[in-house]
Structure 1
C-alpha cells in the first residue's frame, strides 16, 4: 500500500488521480494529504468525494509539514504549471517519488534542475503524458516497433484546437507566459512527447514561426477595445463571435476549464482565479498559431503546426519511413463539430504495395480511452504483458518542455535554437 499526497487540488487532480485512487485502487493506494493555495478547493473535493473528508489538508507553504505529518511515499503534483518545479524538487529532496502533470516545468532550465535533483535523490519522477495511452497512439507505436515503415525519416503533425477549447486558454492564467510557458509548452509539450516516443529519438534543433492572429486587443474579432471585461458581465458579449458560438443571449457563460469546477457560481472564492477573462485583453502576449521544424539526433525531421482557433478539433498525422507511411486523422469532441465525423482508422502504405486500413479497438474513458490505462500503470505498476516502455520520466518531460520553449523563442528571436543549449541555460540569441 503506497501513500500519496497531492499538491494542487485542481479539477484535474480530482478527476485523474483522487477519484480513481478512492474508487478503483484503494487496495494499493491511500490518499494521506492534500495541499493547495485555496481552502475552497478542499471543500469542493470533499463535497464531490466524501471519502476524502478526513484527509488532512495543508496550505501551499506547508509542504515540509505535510510530508512530516503524513509520511507519503509519492507526491502527486497537479498545481499550476509554474509551481510544479518547486514541489517536484522539494519532494525529491525528501527522497520521495513524484508523479506530475504535464508540463513538468515551464522552462528548460527548471527541467534541468529537476533532472539534477533526481540524480541526487532516491526518488524518481513520472510525467503523466496520457496521450501515449490512446489505443490509436499505442497501435502506431507497435507498428513502428514491428518495422512496418522501416527507419523513420519524417513526421507531419498538424493539430487543430477549436474556438471553444482554444479560447479557454486565453480566458485564464494560461495566457500569461510566466505562469504557463505559453501554449507551445502547456499544450504542445503533449504533442512533442508523443512524437519523441514514437520515434525513440531525441530532438536536437528547432526553428519555428508563430503569431497571435485571433486573440488579444488587435484581434479582428474584438468587438470593443477595452481591457478588464469578463464574459459573465460583459456588455458586448452579444457582439463577440467566440461567446455567441457556444452561448445564447439568455444563458450563463459556458467556460471550459480542465483545472477547476467551471460552474461560474462555484468559481467565486477561488484565489486569484477567473475562467471568464476577456480573450481580447491587451495583456495577452502568447501566440495562438505556430509552425515548427524539429531535427532529431537520428536524422528524422518533424513538421509541426498548431492553431488555437479553428472550426473543429483534432489532428492529422503522417509518419514516413524507408519502408512505407502511416496516416491517421482524428476528430476530437465530435459533439462540438458541426458536421458528421468519420471513425478514426490508421492507414498503412507500404513503399511498394497495397494500402492497409487498420481498425483499432477503442476503449472507454477520458482522453480517448488512455486515462484508465495510465492510471493502472501509475497505481498498479507497468503492465507486464506490454513489451515496450510507455510511462514517461523526467528526461521525457524535459525534452518535451524544451522543444516547446525552443518554439516560442525561435518565433521571438527569428533564429533556430538547440535543445541542449536551452537545458544548459546558455542559448545565445541575435537580439
Structure 2
C-alpha cells in the first residue's frame, strides 16, 4: 500500500513531538512528509537537526501554500502552527479536497469557524481536529458509561480544571498571552474541556455566561518583583525574587520538571528568529485572563458549571455528571509535578437509588492521559474497528468548542450572556457587508 503524503503547516514544538516524531518512527510505513511550511526559517533548521531523515524536504513560507500544494501533491495537510494561522491552512486544504488534521483549537474566532464550516460543506476532504483528551482511557470509559445509560439523560455537569504554576505560567511566557494569537485561554486551552463535555453528553452548547479576570499574571500580579516590561527569564536580573521562577529552579540552575510537555523543545530562544518563549509573565502586553467561572446551556436541557484557574499548586480536575438515573464523579491530579502523594484516578458511579460503584480503568502510556498514541493510531491507521462509537472530532465539534470559548471571554467582557449562534451571525453580517455570501448552521 502506498504511503500517504503529508505537508505540515507550522513546524512547532507540537508538530515536532506530536506528529513528526511518530510519523518517522511508529507510522513510517504509512506516512511520508513531503513539505514543511513556516514563517520562521530557524524552525526548519531546528527540525532538520532533530530529525535528520527530513533533511532536504522542501520548505515553504506562508505565502507559498498554494505552491507547496502544487509541487508536493499531498494527500493531507497537518496544521500545527500558532492558533490564529490555522484557519487559512484548513480552508486552503479543504478547498483542494484534501484531508486536514488540525491541532486544537481548530481556529480562534467565530468568523473563522464560519469559514471552516463553509469550506468543509463544499469539500471532498475531511477535517479532523485532534482533541486527544477524548482518547484518555478514563475519558472513554466515562463516555461508555453514558452510552450504556448508567446516568440516564444528562441534566448537569460540574467541571473544575486546575493548571499548576509551571504549566499555567508557561502560557504567559509565550505567544499565547496575546488574544490575537490564541483567542485567549478560554479558546486555546478550554476548548479541550468544552469538547470533552460536548462529546460526553451528546448535546450542543447554545449559550454561555461567564466572569473572567487576570488575577496572577500581568503587571498587576501581586507576585511581580518589579513593574518593568521587556524582561525574559533567561536574562532577568530579578528572577531570584520571582516565586514562579524559583518554584522550579535554584539560584544556579533552571529545572525542567518531570512530565513536562509544555515547552521541552522551546526553552532555547535560538530555536526562533525574533521570538523568545521565555517572556516575563508580568509583562503589560498580556491581554488575556487567567481565571474563569462560567455556565453553559445545552440544546437538550443540560447545564455546565465550569471553572478554570491557571495558577494552582497542582494540576488536574474535578468532574461530576448528573443524570436522571445516576451520577458520575472523578478527580485527577497529575503526579509528575505534585508535591504530595497522588492516589489512583478512579470513576465513582452512584445510581440515583442504590449503592456506590468504584470503577478502575487500566491506564495507557503516553501524553494527555494516554490519549496521544491512541488518537495517532486513528489518524494514521484508520478508526479502531473494535470501538463502537464515534470519537474523532470534525469541523462541527471544533467549531462548537471554539464558539463556547469565545462566548465565555466575550460574556466576561460584556457582563451578559452570549448565544453561540450570534457569534456566527456576527461573522455572516461582516461577510455580507464585504460582499460575500452567508452560511447558517
Question: TM range, normalised to the smaller chain?
Answer: over 0.9
The secondary structure found in structure 2 opposite 1:158 is strand
SS state of the match for residue 21, structure 2? helix
Moved over 3 A (4+): 252-260
For 1:282 and 1:147, how far apart are their aligned partners in 2? 50
Q: After superposition, give the CA deviation of every residue in 1:97-155 in whole Å (9 maximum; x if it has no partner).
A: 11000001000110111110111221111100000000000000000000001010000
Shift of 1:254: 5.1
Tell me whether 1:64 sits opposite 2:70 in the alignment: no
Q: 1:97 to 1:243 in 2, by over 3 A?
A: same
Distance in 1 (CA, whole Å) between partners of 2:242 and 2:211 is 28
The answer to whether 1:21 aligns with 2:29 is no
Residue equivalent to 1:203: 205
Show the counterpart of 1:318.
320
Where does residue 391 of structure 1 map in the other structure? Answer: 392
The residue number in structure 2 matching 1:263 is 267
Report what 2:344 is aligned to: 343
Superposition pairs of residues 234-313 of structure 1, within 5 angstroms: 234-252=236-254, 258=262, 261-264=265-268, 267-268=269-270, 270-313=272-315
Question: How far apart are the structure 2 equivalents of 1:235 and 1:100?
Answer: 39
In the alignment, is the contact (CA less than 8 A) between 2:165 and 2:312 conserved in 1? Answer: yes
Q: Distance in 1 between matches of 2:162 and 2:67?
A: 43
User: What is the match of residue 51 of structure 1?
Assistant: 53
For each residue in 1:51-81, what CA deviation from the matched residue of structure 2 results, as whole angstroms up to 9, or x when unmatched?
2123222122211111111100100000100
Matched with 2:436 is none
Q: Which moved more, 1:405-414 or 1:116-125?
A: 116-125
Matched residue, 1:367: 368
1:226 equivalent among 214, 225, 228? 228
- Partner-residue secondary structure (3-state), 1:425: helix
Whole-Å Cα distance in 2 between the matches of residues 258 and 248 of structure 1?
20
Residue among 98, 102, 105 paired with 1:103: 105
Deviations 1:351-371 (A, max 9, x none): 111100000011111111111
Paired residue for 1:145? 147
Partner of 2:439: none
Contact map agreement 1:112 1:424 (CA 8 A) in 2: no
Q: 1:212: how far off?
A: 0.7
CA distance in 2, matches of 1:31, 1:61: 20
Task: Find 2:164's aligned residue among 162, 184, 188.
Answer: 162
Question: Structure 1, unaligned stretches of length 5 or more?
Answer: none
Residues paired across the two proteins, number: 425
Give me the whole-angstrom Cα distance separating, in 2, the residues matched to 1:61 and 1:260.
Answer: 29
| Contact map agreement 1:12 1:259 (CA 8 A) in 2 | no
Deviation at 1:284, TM superposition (A): 1.2
Structure-to-structure mapping, 1:327-338, within 5 angstroms: 327-332=329-334, 334-338=335-339
Q: Is residue 418 of structure 1 aligned with residue 422 of structure 2? A: no
1:352-411 deviations in Å (ceiling 9; x for gaps): 111000000111111111111100100011111110000000000000000000000000
Quote the offset at 1:424 in angstroms.
2.1
Deviation at 1:263, TM superposition (A): 3.4
**Offset, 1:260:** 7.1
User: CA separation in 2, counterparts of 1:46 and 1:347?
Assistant: 47
Distance 2:263 2:31 in 1: 23
Aligned-pair Cα RMSD in Å:
1.6
Q: Which moved more, 1:298-307 or 1:419-428?
A: 419-428
Partner of 2:131: 129
CA distance in 1, matches of 2:135, 2:118: 28
Q: Is the 8 A contact 1:231 1:253 kept in 2?
A: no
Matched residues in 1 for 2:213 and 2:56: separation?
Answer: 48
TM-score (norm 2): 0.94
Distance 2:341 2:243 in 1: 23
SS at match of 2:247: helix
Change (3 A) 1:417 1:182: same
Determine the C-alpha separation between the residues in 1 that align with 2:344 and 2:139.
Answer: 15
